[in-house]
Structure 1
Amino acid sequence: MLIKLLQDQFIAELTPIYDALEAQQLFLICLEELEGKTRIDFVMNPTLETKQPEQWLAVLTELVQQKPIQQILGKAYFYGYTFEVNEHTLIPRPETEELVEWIMATVAVDQPIRILDIGTGSGCIGLTLAKELPHSAVTLLDISTEALAVAKRNAAALNAKVNFLQGDILALEQLADTYDIIVSNPPYIRELEKVEIKKNVMDYEPHTALFVDDGDPLIFYRKIGLLAKAHLKPGGFLFYEINQYLGKEMVELLEAIGFTQTELRRDLLNNFRMTKSKI
């Protein structure tokens, strides 16, 4: 079957759901993942054929149902690494890469440090830091058995030597060790913000990793901040990915806990998206 015919079908069926650019991008992702071909290959040879049209159409069926392409393919790319993802883990996002870059700009690459990644999910933050900071000792913590299983498989695939802990951070009275850096991308979307969430997130990504009650939207940040205050080494840092609408409240919370030099940073889309605090 001509891949050009599949392209036409993708565009026709996906443009009522996604805009034309997104529909074309989804087709190109499938071209690369299913056929090992690039856009240039396709442009140079528009008569390319596939021997697996059934697989293409199976992917298209799930895309029409607005299932994320990363979950359909079972993998996502983050900071140049490939991560397994599924319905038990969040799909890594570009703004989280910015958080990782900020962490790496804060420490020397050859500095021996201990890092704790709280709510690790697929492990994208902690495992990337473990690979990029080879002298670091990284621990990944999550409440979800299923998410930790994914993180363990990602660690094995990346040959990253890290430690794993399972636990409910809200129930912990203390952490297992002291750390130079604690980082977390905890649940932060308020119930009132659900109207802004697209179907591909709402229906397919784990709600326990996304949403918090409107009455106390900073519950995870407060608890992690208190634990970090007690378990960060002198001069240590606490990094957060945050709700873009609650930047001011985050700074006030961290100052109330006792952190100094709290910096609120915007992402590339100009949203307040991350904080760095020093003990």
Structure 2
Amino acid sequence: MKIKEYRAQFIQELLPIYDAGEAESFFYLILEEKRNLKRIDLALNPELTFSNDEIEVWNLILNQLKKEIPIQYLLGKTSFYGLEFEVNPNVLIPRPETEELVEWIIQSQKSKAESQKIKILDIGTGSGCIAISLAKNLPNAQVFAIDVSEKALATAQKNTKINEVNVTFLLKNILETEDLEQQFDIIVSNPPYVRELEKQEIKKNVLDNEPHLALFVDDNDALIFYRKIAELAQKNLSPNGQLFFEINQYLGKEMIDLLEKMGFKNIELRKDIYGNDRMIRGTI
């Protein structure tokens, strides 16, 4: 079967669930992964074909996409901040908004000399996307990362090898941690922040497939992780050390109030590419 014919069929079958642009992007992502062919290759060689075995593989993937299993889990990888990361159902799929948080941290360090060593801690690292991106782009940084999930840390460890960086991983439940036992210049976290009341806003492919442990918090204490991490930051940030968070878009004011009450200075709230309050920084 000609690939271009299968392409039309593939997109058509996904249309009840995804829009045409998204379905087409899935097709080309899989084509590059499975056949190392790009869109331009198919345009220049319209007679290229799939074997029956290939069609069988593609149909299996198509059926999983119809069940709204994320394409990143099906391919086993995704891109984040120009790097490649292994992903699986033990870790959240990195979001574009989180890339903005990483960029903010990197830019905040640009004025420092390369000889000036810094220590960074990423709390709730998941796939390791924040910690690894920082280690890759800040050669003067010693990076540590914490997660409560052994399986998440195993994935993050693989990602350090893929991206050729060193990160020290620690298995900890941050809510049960009383002291981080060393000082850091930067602490960053993208903790669980989606309230149960916001579940209806979450797409089915996320709700049914990504780890709820990394997503949801109780409606009655939505800032539980932020409060705990900020308490630890009070003890374990170096003088003028910075605390960065990715936050719930509806709780920007509450986050400012929390950090102000805990004595943080120079608090700055930023919006993401979609215009939502998404990240905050405070200095100790």
TM-score between both structures, scaled by the size of structure 1: 0.98
Tell me which residue corresponds to 1:140.
145
In the aligned structure 2, how far is the partner of 1:207 from the partner of 1:62? 20
Q: Is the counterpart of residue 163 in structure 1 residue 168 in structure 2?
A: yes
Match of 1:198 among 199, 203, 208: 203
- Aligned counterparts, 1:189-268, within 5 A: 189-268=194-273
Aligned residue identity for 2:7: Q
Alignment of 1:59-70 (within 5 A): 59-70=61-72
Whole-Å Cα distance in 2 between the matches of residues 176 and 139 of structure 1? 12
Equivalent of 1:149, from 140, 151, 154?
Answer: 154
Deviations 1:147-200 (A, max 9, x none): 000001111222211111001000001113110000000000000000011111
2:3 aligns to what? 3
C-alpha deviations, 1:184-234, integer Å up to 9, x for none?
000000000000111110011000000000001000000001101110000
Displacement of 1:40:
1.4
Which residue of the partner structure matches residue 13 of structure 2? Answer: 13
After superposing on structure 2, the runs of 4+ consecutive aligned residues of structure 1 that deviate more than 2 Å are: none
Provide Cα deviations, 1:246-269, integer angstroms capped at 9, x if missing partner. Answer: 101111011111101110000111
> Does the residue aligned with 1:98 lie in a helix, a strand or coil?
helix
Deviation at 1:55, TM superposition (A): 1.8
* AA of the residue aligned to 2:178: E
AA partner of residue 191 (structure 2): P
Separation in 2, partners of 1:211, 1:130: 28
Unaligned runs of 5+ in 2: none
The CA RMSD over aligned residues, in Å, is: 1.0
Match of 1:101? 103
Residues 35 and 50 of structure 1 are in contact (CA less than 8 Å); yes or no, is this contact kept in structure 2?
no
Query: 2:9 and 2:124 mapped to 1: Cα distance?
Result: 39
- Counterparts of 1:42 and 1:274 in 2: how far apart (Å)? 41
Structure 1 unaligned blocks of 5 or more? none
Q: Tell me the equivalent position of 1:53.
A: 55
Aligned length: 279
The one-letter code sitting in structure 1 at the alignment partner of 2:201 is E
- Distance in 2 between residues matched to 1:228 and 1:5, nearest whole Å: 57
Identity %: 56
Separation in structure 2 between the aligned mates of residue 184 and residue 93 of structure 1, nearest angstrom? 14
> In structure 2, how many angstroms separate the alpha carbons of the residues matched to 1:231 and 1:158?
28
The superposition leaves residues 98-126 of structure 1 with CA deviations (integer Å, 9 ceiling, x where unpaired) of 00000001013623100000000000000
- 1:5, 1:19 → 2: CA distance? 19
**Structure 2 letter corresponding to 1:12:** Q
- Aligned: 1:183 with 2:188: yes
| Equivalent AA in structure 2 for residue 214 of structure 1 | D
1:82 equivalent to 2:87? Answer: no
2: CA distance, partners of 1:95 / 1:176:
30
Q: 1:276 aligns with which of 261, 264, 281?
A: 281
Normalization by structure 2: what TM-score?
Answer: 0.96
SS in 2 for 1:120: coil
SS of aligned partner of 1:40: helix
